[in-house]
Each structure stands twice: as structure tokens, then as C-alpha cells.
């Protein structure tokens, strides 16, 4: 398997999925900061936006977790 083929398959590997989970979880810090600031300023619109973003992050993490479970032992980079 060539290096280019492995690189293209990285996103579908366990390592790529773990990296995606970490990136998505890192985004949660920014959303938490926006939620805290919106509550302090009583800004309903920003609070609503941050809440929708938080729900999107939770959904994204759930999808990535499901993908990680599906990968199981047939990891693209190990094959």
C-alpha cells in the first residue's frame, strides 16, 4: 500500500477518528466560553447560538464514537 493511499485512508482509521474526536472536543471549550459570556450578559441570541453549537458538538462526538466502534479491528492503516 502506497503512502498516498494510506494518507487518504487516515480519516477512516482509528487514529484519524481519535484526532477528529479531539478536535471536536477542543471546540467545546470555545462554545462553553460563549455560553458563559452570553449568560453573564443575558444575551439570548448568543445563548441560543451557543446552545445550538453545543448540540452540534455532542452530535458530532456521538457520530465519531459510532464510527470508532464500527472500525473495530479492520483499521485502514493496519491493513
Cα separation, 51 vs 39, in Å, equals: 11
11 or 20, greater pLDDT: 20
Task: Give 20-78 pLDDT, tens digit per residue.
Answer: 999 999 999 999 999 999 999 999 999 999 999 999 999 999 999 998 888 875 555 55
- Amino acid 4: pLDDT: 57
Nearest CA-CA partner of 31 in 52, 54, 48, 47 = 54
pLDDT at 79: 47
Amino acid at each position: 500500500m502506497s503512502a498516498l493511499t494510506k494518507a487518504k485512508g487516515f480519516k477512516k482509521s482509528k487514529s484519524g477518528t481519535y484526532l477528529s474526536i479531539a478536535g471536536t472536543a477542543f471546540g467545546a471549550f470555545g462554545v462553553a466560553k460563549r455560553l458563559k459570556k452570553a449568560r453573564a450578559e443575558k444575551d439570548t441570541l448568543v445563548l441560543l447560538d451557543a446552545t445550538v453549537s453545543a448540540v452540534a458538538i455532542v452530535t458530532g462526538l456521538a457520530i465519531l464514537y459510532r464510527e470508532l466502534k464500527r472500525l473495530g479491528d479492520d483499521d485502514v492503516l493496519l491493513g
